[in-house]
Chain A
Amino acid sequence: MDKRFARQTRKFHQAKWDEEIIFELHNPGERGVMVPAVEKGISDRVGDGLSSLPASLRRDTAPSLPEVGQMRVLKHFLRLSQQTLGADLNIDIGQGTCTIKYNPKINKHLAGLPQVTEIHPWQDESTVQGALEITNNLDTYLRAISGLDYFSFQPPSGSAAIFTMASIVEKYHRVRGEQDQRDEIITTIFSHPSDYSAVAVKGYKVINLQQNEDGLPDLDALKAAVSERTAALFITNPEDTGIFNPLIREFTRVVHEAGALCCYDQANANGVLGITRAREADFDMCFFNLHKTFSTPHGCGGPGTGAIGVTAELRDYMPVPLVVKSDDGYQLDYDLPHTIGKVRSFYGIFPVILKAYCWVRAMGARGLLEAARVAVLNNNYLLNRIRQIRGASAPYAEGCHRIEQVRYSWEQLTDETGVGTEDVTARMADFGFHLWSSHHPFVVPEPFTIEPTESYSKLELDEYLSGLEQISNEAYNKPELVTAAPHNSVIHRVDHSTLDDPEKWAITWRSFLKKRPGEQLDRKGK
């Protein structure tokens, strides 16, 4: 085995196409597919296909979609794909909190079988028994992993699962007549930011707990925070710092004594699979992101699944339908007296459920435990090595091990060389590495968050480390090399400050043209 790259970075260069936006490829009349004219026999039977629609549903003008030939479209998207650094190309451990691991390709092929792609959620239960069985089986696996009693796969993401938990919290207190009184949800600064934002969307007042010197949420602050107004606690453990809160049962006790519910964000459970469970920590609810811990692809923003689990006491509040097993096979159960209704159509995204099911089956109980152990081992190996890199540090819990990720800091590097985390991020791209820039809520100065999961070999971890080490050396010896980076990547620095300015937001081409009228001409003229 060639171990060169355990000590040095690669001679990498990203493809750069200077590719147009698809709308700029628009050429009136160009077509991907020439649809043949409708034959007379057909139009005799069904008419023109349009006039049967009510006038109010018919549009007067065609949508202004880009008109582009098929081959050019293919080229367009392949070029864009070459300008990205996906998990299947780079050593994707620099995306802490995202739990990037290998998504076995065999599972993708299985999800592409006609038995999966050709079924429809409106089909009669009796005709989709296999899909329901797989869904129900995955439910039972997650019960064993969490210790909770029932799971739903309806929420399509982690934030949707948090929103679902908040909806159950709201309904629970409403049924008890306490909804108006209990309008506060407590979370912690280092819980995942969605625990803050998704409950805020539900209308709750959010009470944040500050971390103490050890980086743990402050139990005394929790005691000061709970009251008859508390609806629930939403918390991540380990938090985004990778520090496990050993007092978690104290937290749930204090919250339960105040008459509130305890909700566990286990979107990323990668470090605790088979080691700790929501049940033993006295949580009433939890959720797992199948697209994180259970190895289904993130898919650039979906589809994912935030599988939500509850104790038996809360089953009646779950979204409908639940997939249940009886002597007659598998059915959809809509009969939940206090159900919050639906958070998404049907009973889950079946291809995602299938991929997670396959992964769990392939791993087995011992394999899941082994995945957690290897992930934790990988993380602590990196922690030990990164602490030795000049200018890097791991704030909080000095000298302690972490679980599955660590939020590090380049504060010292920045103070001593002027090179900040943004610069390091840009320079890592020169070696074909991704080090992302999201570390909410930016409490740690010059942050970077590394989460190696179980998928990466020691050799790959060493290669990534060699990139970080090289950049530290460059920062101290030739800082302009880092501050001018990237040199081998597709684009130069992106100025994010425009994201703070609503005047400059353009999430559609139409709003882009509206806000920047001269822009299209400029781009064409260049």
Chain B
Amino acid sequence: MSSGPTIGVLVNPIAGMGGRVGLKGTDGPDILARARVLGAVPVAGLRAQITLKELAAKIQGLQVKSPPGDMGESVVREVGLEPEIVGTSRYKSTTSEDTIRLARQLADEGVDLLLFAGGDGTARDMVSAIGGNQPVLGIPAGVKIHSAVYAKTPLSAAALAKRFLNGGGRNCQDAEVLDIDENNYRQGRLNTRLYGYLKIPADRRLTQGLKAGSPASDRSDQQGIAEAVAADFDREYSYIIGPGSTTNAILNYLGLPATLLGVDLLHSQQIVECDLNESELLESTAGKNVKIIVTPIGGQGFIFGRGNQQISPAILRQVGKDNLMVIATKRKILDLKGRSLLIDTGDTELDHQMAGYYKIITSYNDRIVYKVECG
């Protein structure tokens, strides 16, 4: 057998089952049981098949490693490939622990790219399992897809994977894993958190180019943004730094400890406090001059209301529109394909006040004037 690149295939067989029956997700065994009662059928395997079939046809000598049964093996066999079985899995009672354990085993086995089919919950498990070094790519199969680690469709996952596996550079980019609290979501409240980052293949079609920036220049843009922000730091102000890798780069540049996923407070280029919640933020900034630095979180371009709810309407009112600094790499902005950035604080009146044009800091000496609308 000719030896081509090796991929890992991991399917969360229950992902997406809640969608068609209106359950908004399948996190936890009770909901899954209810989904089954309502007649939900597995969809993740079928979605993964589309991707795998395309990859099997396009890549010569493709090697596949996967867990047995529903969590990979059956999908791989379905498209006519012979998987090397890794680990053990249970029949029809998959849990988050299974996903984490098997993802870790696949990564340890050594795969060029780990494909996983699921939703935001599955992506969170991937973060717990393998962190940021193993290249991965999500095949969208879940009900909730807020995370940027997923390709647009199973076919585009195949295209991206093929480019990555066949290309010489194997460039990756960091992509966010977001999830919402399903309980709140079922009750109509959207509370998104940023859970971490995974390395996914860089989409060269959109990132190659002088203005748009390559994955390498995406990193250097983050550095450029950090330098631009640091150069203009005003000692009269405290700075609320929102979550995300782009804001994190500012603190790294200043040599300060940072919470990638939390909100930090700075003054005179020093940390005042890390990882504050809303009331701590209100308390620490009362009566002070404050600026807020945020970056859009997730693929949909929310600057407020996804992953940074600690910066609440009360804080935004206190700080004011003029003291809001939005930072984002060009890639992030161009990935929006012209759609406006969004704001959804839960306070409609405030959202309207905050909407308008912002000079987004995209690198050192580089800005883009971009529209922010109510989400």
The residues of A with any CB-CB pair to B shorter than 8 Å are: 184, 189, 193, 196-197, 200, 203-213, 218, 220-222, 224-225, 414-415, 418, 420-422, 438-443, 445-446, 480, 483, 495-502
By a CB distance below 8 angstroms, the chain A residues around B214 are 499-500
By a CB distance below 8 angstroms, the chain B residues around A438 are 209
Contact call B155/A500, Cβ cutoff below 8 A: no
Bound-complex Cα distance A204 to B367 (A): 11
Of A200, A210, A498, the contact of B365 (CB 8 Å cutoff): A200
By a CB distance below 8 angstroms, the chain A residues around B254 are none
By a CB distance below 8 angstroms, the chain B residues around A420 are 159, 205
Interface string of B39-72 (1 = CB under 8 A from A): 0000000000000001000100000000000000
By a CB distance below 8 angstroms, the chain B residues around A207 are 359, 367-369
Residue ID in chain B nearest A205 by CB atoms: B365
Of B58, B170, B368, the contact of A208 (CB 8 Å cutoff): B368
Residue ID in chain A nearest B208 by CB atoms: A442
Of B155, B169, B359, B366, the contact of A418 (CB 8 Å cutoff): B155
Residue ID in chain B nearest A191 by CB atoms: B211
Bound-complex Cα distance A105 to B33 (A): 79
Contacts A209-B369, A221-B371, A418-B155 given; indicate if A440 touches B215 (C-beta within 8 A).
no
Bound-complex Cα distance A218 to B370 (A): 10
Bound-complex Cα distance A501 to B330 (A): 19
**Interface SS majority for chain B:** mixed
Minimal beta-carbon separation of A480 from chain B (angstroms): 8
Contact call B367/A206, Cβ cutoff below 8 A: yes
Of A206, A222, A415, A498, the contact of B366 (CB 8 Å cutoff): A206
Bound-complex Cα distance A496 to B159 (A): 17
Contact call B159/A414, Cβ cutoff below 8 A: yes
Interface string of B198-214 (1 = CB under 8 A from A): 00000011111111101
Contact call B357/A220, Cβ cutoff below 8 A: yes
Bound-complex Cα distance A21 to B365 (A): 40
Residue ID in chain B nearest A212 by CB atoms: B338
Bound-complex Cα distance A205 to B217 (A): 18
At the interface, yes or no: B230 with Cβ under 8 Å from chain A? no
At the interface, yes or no: B167 with Cβ under 8 Å from chain A? yes
Contact call B217/A500, Cβ cutoff below 8 A: yes
Contacts A205-B366, A206-B365 given; indicate if A211 touches B338 (C-beta within 8 A).
yes
Contacts A440-B211, A483-B58 given; indicate if A225 touches B159 (C-beta within 8 A).
no
Bound-complex Cα distance A184 to B216 (A): 26
By a CB distance below 8 angstroms, the chain A residues around B92 are none
At the interface, yes or no: B171 with Cβ under 8 Å from chain A? yes
Contacts A204-B365, A221-B371 given; indicate if A441 touches B209 (C-beta within 8 A).
yes
Of A211, A225, A415, A480, the contact of B359 (CB 8 Å cutoff): A225
By a CB distance below 8 angstroms, the chain B residues around A441 are 209-212, 330, 334
Of A218, A224, A442, the contact of B212 (CB 8 Å cutoff): A442
Bound-complex Cα distance A220 to B370 (A): 10
By a CB distance below 8 angstroms, the chain A residues around B158 are 418
Residue ID in chain B nearest A502 by CB atoms: B216
Contact call B216/A501, Cβ cutoff below 8 A: yes
By a CB distance below 8 angstroms, the chain A residues around B58 are 418, 480, 483
- Which 9 residue pairs spanning A and B have beta carbons closest together? A497-B169, A441-B211, A224-B357, A500-B214, A495-B168, A440-B209, A500-B216, A442-B209, A208-B368
- Beyond A414-B159, A499-B214, A500-B214, list 10 extra A-B contacts (CB 8 Å): A197-B210, A204-B365, A220-B357, A221-B371, A224-B359, A415-B153, A418-B155, A421-B205, A439-B209, A443-B338
Contact call B211/A196, Cβ cutoff below 8 A: yes
Contact call A210/B211, Cβ cutoff below 8 A: no
By a CB distance below 8 angstroms, the chain B residues around A418 are 54, 58, 155, 158-159, 162
By a CB distance below 8 angstroms, the chain A residues around B208 are 442, 496
Contacts A420-B205, A440-B212, A498-B168 given; indicate if A208 touches B357 (C-beta within 8 A).
no
Q: Which of A196, A221, A441, A500 has the most CB of B within 10 A?
A: A500
Contacts A193-B211, A200-B366, A415-B156 given; indicate if A213 touches B338 (C-beta within 8 A).
yes
Interface string of B156-190 (1 = CB under 8 A from A): 10110010000111110000000000000000000
Residue ID in chain B nearest A410 by CB atoms: B205
Contact call B365/A500, Cβ cutoff below 8 A: no
Contact call A446/B212, Cβ cutoff below 8 A: no
Bound-complex Cα distance A495 to B54 (A): 22
Contact call A210/B169, Cβ cutoff below 8 A: no
Contacts A189-B211, A495-B168, A498-B169 given; indicate if A208 touches B369 (C-beta within 8 A).
yes
By a CB distance below 8 angstroms, the chain A residues around B205 are 420-422, 442, 445-446
By a CB distance below 8 angstroms, the chain B residues around A196 are 210-211
Residue ID in chain A nearest B333 by CB atoms: A210
Contact call A442/B367, Cβ cutoff below 8 A: no
At the interface, yes or no: B235 with Cβ under 8 Å from chain A? no
At the interface, yes or no: B87 with Cβ under 8 Å from chain A? no
Interface string of B210-237 (1 = CB under 8 A from A): 1110111100000000000000000000
Bound-complex Cα distance A221 to B207 (A): 24
By a CB distance below 8 angstroms, the chain A residues around B366 are 200, 205-206, 208
At the interface, yes or no: B356 with Cβ under 8 Å from chain A? yes
Bound-complex Cα distance A441 to B330 (A): 10
Minimal beta-carbon separation of B327 from chain A (angstroms): 14
Minimal beta-carbon separation of A71 from chain B (angstroms): 36
Contacts A196-B211, A421-B205 given; indicate if A443 touches B334 (C-beta within 8 A).
yes
By a CB distance below 8 angstroms, the chain A residues around B371 are 210, 218, 221
Contact call B210/A221, Cβ cutoff below 8 A: no
Which residues between 320 and 366 of chain B lie within 8 Å of chain A, taking CB atoms?
330, 333-334, 337-338, 356-357, 359, 362, 365-366
By a CB distance below 8 angstroms, the chain A residues around B170 are 497
Residue ID in chain B nearest A183 by CB atoms: B365
Bound-complex Cα distance A200 to B228 (A): 14
Minimal beta-carbon separation of A273 from chain B (angstroms): 27
Minimal beta-carbon separation of A441 from chain B (angstroms): 3
Bound-complex Cα distance A213 to B158 (A): 30
